[in-house]
Amino acid sequence: MSSFNNTDLSAFKNVWVFCEQRNGEMMPTSYELISEGRRLADELKVELVGVILGDGVIELAPSVGGYGADRVIVCNHPLLKDYTTDGYTKVLSDMIEEYKPEVVLFGATNIGRDLGPRCAARLHTGLCADCTHLDVDMDTYKNFLKETSTLAEERIDGIKEIKVLGEPRTLERELKMTRPAFGGHLMASIVCPRFRPSMATVRPGVMKKAPYDEAKAGKVVIEQPTVNLSESDIQTEVVDIVKAAKKMVDLIGAEYIVSVGRGIASDVEGGIKLAEELAEVLGGVVGGSRAVIDSGWLPADHQVGQTGKTVRPKVYIALGISGAIQHKAGMQDSEYIVAVNKNSSAPIFEIADYGITGDLFKVVPHLIDAIKAAKAEK
Amino acid sequence: MKIIVCVKQVPDTSGKVAVKPDGTLDRASMATITNPDDLNAVEAALSIKDKTGCKVVVVTMGPPKAEEMLREILARGADEAVLVSAREFGGSDTYATSQILAAALDHLGVDKDDIVFCGRQAIDGDTAQVGPQIAEKLGLPQVTYAADIVIKEDGKVSVKRMLEDGYMNINVARPCLITCIKELNNPRYMNIADIYTAYDKPCNVYDYELLKDSKYIDKTVIGLQGSPTNILTSFTPKQKGEGVMLQGTDAEVSKELADALASKHVI
Ligand SMILES: Cc1cc2nc3c(=O)[nH]c(=O)nc-3n(C[C@H](O)[C@H](O)[C@H](O)COP(=O)(O)OP(=O)(O)OC[C@H]3O[C@@H](n4cnc5c(N)ncnc54)[C@H](O)[C@@H]3O)c2cc1C
Ligand SMILES: Nc1ncnc2c1ncn2[C@@H]1O[C@H](COP(=O)(O)O)[C@@H](O)[C@H]1O
């Protein structure tokens, strides 16, 4: 157990974002978290700090400022070049013990979800996984509940404190971390009232990236603390890192997504071709339901949903997708949802802004023409 | 050499999920299954057992009825089971759970050549935290998101660890903890011989008395009240506002949709 007293809540200050880079390139979700972290830091009236670990990665620091950080801590060390659980956990936990931030956010990437829990266990504090919404300010939080939950208003207004080990704790400075549970059937808001920092991993693609501010990028304060790390600290050996041969589809950043489901089964190739054409007309990409990925009709990086990617494009078109809760969990926050399904009682229609009952093979060619025509008119 | 596999019994969320009026899950009315990723972890252990003859021990923390799940895994070929069960442990978050499981694993003994397997994540909470947190508590190296596992001649374990855009090849010495994903293998079914012996194999219960003085357990940080994280509110999300079902021929509805999207300036 760490020696630093993490029950002395008042000793902790500032919001930190672990800014994950791979091979010298910032993961896009780091900027989403910096943008969200800015709002939280303002609500707490503290500084927002980005933390970058790597080898020779200082040139990434200004970009973190450009999205809203006041300060960037850069930990450079040859042993931090590639991600290792041990190396990154040690350096980040040491920094947290020294600087005592009150909030630490990680992207819920395959690396963030390896590093976050290990640090939380070392620092003896809680961690909320895969959050989709964060709040500090109580009124903002209550408004969020009123807009998105089925809870009665009086219940929401009645939220004042939380009892922990028999003691009431105030919620004013608590980070309220909201996340789906049970595959999206339920939402839960989690707090970590007894220990600091409050830590969360945040689902990629959910928080909105702020506009980039060149002036702020130039002004950001950069700190480079000494890194204490030796080979004996690291118990795993990274033999090599292999990039996927094919270019991965960028679902998370896409503004238009056309997804196909098992409804294409009668003519898989034809169905995917139609989806690709429609996506091309819109300037978007093709996604799929898990059924499509499990059948091997599309590669795994195309999967939308609880165990795939969370997307929020301007327009999401679901072709022959029934709308299982695990699929909805990944796309229900899209700006506009369009569904084409043969079965008029498919659950996807419950969340569709525009529903079309019909055979996708017959409807989509008309859709392609109609969208081309509508775009040409502009 | 032995392999310890941590498995969890979870509510089956693939069908209808029952929610109580206060926004919590009505667990009693739902069927339970073994967490899907944990079956991949069990299979990984059993396939190493096939090759090396090592012992496979499954460990779960849960209510007494989780024993059914343990018997089922014994019937797939595991050798021993441990049920960690006590009222004091109920309602634990991942931090608290990992302390208790670390204490249980320590009691069981994690020896020089051993491997601990976990699933990547449990479908009730989807946190993927318990594995890494057990590893941290026990001071073991960890490799998460394993899609291929090979024990090499020198005794080290070589793991293909998945990333979003590729993978890493990692070597790790034993003892270590590895979390498994579904791409790793296809879990086998129960087999007749093992079904017959499943009830003769040992299934030990570790209770609060047994574990409470373990150096891994901080008694003020377990159970529903002691867990570092607490649930402030839980709720069912509102369904999105009413959409429209477009009516007409395929050509008509397509035009109507395109016009609607254009008038909203989204295309
Ligand atoms: C733990 C867990 C995690 C999961 N994670 C995910 C996930 O991340 N993403 C995901 O998508 N799923 C996930 N699933 C699976 C999910 O429960 C569903 O099984 C899956 O989404 C179904 O895919 P589908 O809609 O394509 O297929 P189906 O449910 O079979 O639906 C096919 C639909 O196509 C319609 N159709 C058929 N022919 C036509 C036609 N010619 N024209 C128009 N419509 C037609 C049918 O009416 C039907 O509605 C998960 C499940 C579990 C248990
Ligand atoms: N109560 C438990 N008993 C045994 N293993 C568990 C328990 N909870 C979690 N695990 C293990 O930790 C993994 C990750 O779980 P989670 O962090 O809850 O998503 C699971 O796949 C299991 O292998």
Question: Are A80 and A227 within one domain?
Answer: yes
Number of domains in chain A: 2
pLDDT tens per residue across span A70-119: 999 999 999 999 999 999 999 999 999 999 999 999 999 999 999 999 99
Q: What is the percent of chain B with per-residue pLDDT over 90, rounded to a whole number?
A: 82
Question: Omega of the bond prior to B175 within 30 degrees of 0, cis?
Answer: yes
Residue A344 included in any domain: yes
Question: Are A326 and A225 within one domain?
Answer: no
Q: What is the percent of chain A with per-residue pLDDT over 90, rounded to a whole number?
A: 86
Cβ contacts (< 8 Å) between B230 and chain A: which residues?
Answer: 162, 164, 190-193
C-alpha span between A121 and A93 (Å, rounded): 10
Question: Are A194 and A313 within one domain?
Answer: no
Beta carbon of A306 within 6 Å of any ligand 1 atom: yes
CA dihedral of A325, A327, A328, A332, whole degrees rounded to 10:
160
Residue A154 included in any domain: no
Residue A364 included in any domain: yes
What average pLDDT score do residues B109-115 get?
A: 97
A269: closest CA among A246, A296, A247, A251? A296
Residue A127 included in any domain: yes
- What value, to the nearest 5°, has the Cα angle with vertex A188 and ends A184 and A192? 140
- Ligand closest in space to the Cα of B83: 2
Closest-CA residue in chain B for A144? B237
pLDDT tens per residue across span B44-84: 999 999 999 999 999 999 999 999 999 999 999 999 999 99
Residue A27 included in any domain: yes
Q: Does A243 touch chain B (CB under 8 A)?
A: yes
For B:118-177, CB contacts with A below 8 A are: 123-133, 135-137, 141-145, 158, 162-173, 176
- Which pLDDT band holds residue B15 (cuts at 50, 70, 90)? low
pLDDT of the residue at A1: 42
C-alpha span between B58 and B8 (Å, rounded): 10
Question: Are A217 and A315 within one domain?
Answer: no
Question: Are A15 and A93 within one domain?
Answer: yes
Q: Does B257 touch chain A (CB under 8 A)?
A: yes
3-state helix, strand, coil in chain B (%, to 5): 35, 25, 40
pLDDT of the residue at A2: 45
pLDDT tens per residue across span A6-58: 999 999 999 999 999 999 999 999 999 999 999 999 999 999 999 999 999 99
Mean per-residue pLDDT over chain A, rounded? 94
Question: Are A289 and A325 within one domain?
Answer: yes
Note down the domain range covering A332: 256-377
Q: Does A337 touch chain B (CB under 8 A)?
A: yes
pLDDT tens per residue across span B160-195: 999 988 999 999 999 999 999 999 999 999 988 889
What average pLDDT score do residues B208-220 get?
A: 96
Residue A133 has pLDDT above 70, yes or no: yes
**Under 8 Å between Cβ of B176 and B116:** yes
pLDDT tens per residue across span A196-225: 999 999 998 889 899 999 999 999 999 999
Half-sphere exposure of B229 (CA within 13 A, CB side): 30
CATH number at residue A198: 3.40.50.620
Cβ contacts (< 8 Å) between A363 and chain B: which residues?
Answer: 250, 253-254
Question: Are A366 and A330 within one domain?
Answer: yes
For A:150-189, CB contacts with B below 8 A are: 150-151, 159, 162, 164-166, 171, 174, 176, 180-189
> Which token pair is A144?
């969020």
Residue A350 included in any domain: yes
Write the DSSP string, A297-337.
SS-GGGBBSTTSB----SEEEEES----HHHHTTTTT-SEE
Question: Are A197 and A314 within one domain?
Answer: no
Cross-chain CB nearest to B133 (options A117, A239, A282): A117
pLDDT of the residue at A147: 92
Question: Are A207 and A346 within one domain?
Answer: no
Residue B96 has pLDDT above 90, yes or no: yes
B176: closest CA among B122, B128, B214, B139? B139
Cross-chain CB nearest to B232 (options A162, A236, A241): A162
CATH number at residue A284: 3.40.50.1220
Residue A357 included in any domain: yes
Question: Are A340 and A309 within one domain?
Answer: yes
pLDDT tens per residue across span A252-304: 888 999 999 999 999 999 999 999 999 999 999 999 999 999 999 999 889 99
- Which pLDDT band holds residue A181 (cuts at 50, 70, 90)? confident
Question: Are A227 and A107 within one domain?
Answer: yes
Q: Which residue has the tokens 């949802």?
A: A337
pTM of the model: 0.88
Query: Given an 8 Å threshold on Cβ–Cβ distance, is A183 in contact with B93?
Result: no
How far is the centre of ligand 2, averaged over its atoms, from the C-alpha of B32 (Å)? 15
Residue with more model confidence, A3 or A33: A33
> Which token pair is B240?
């999105």
Question: Are A229 and A118 within one domain?
Answer: yes
Neighbours of A318 (CB within 10 A): 32
Q: Does A145 touch chain B (CB under 8 A)?
A: yes
Residue A36 included in any domain: yes
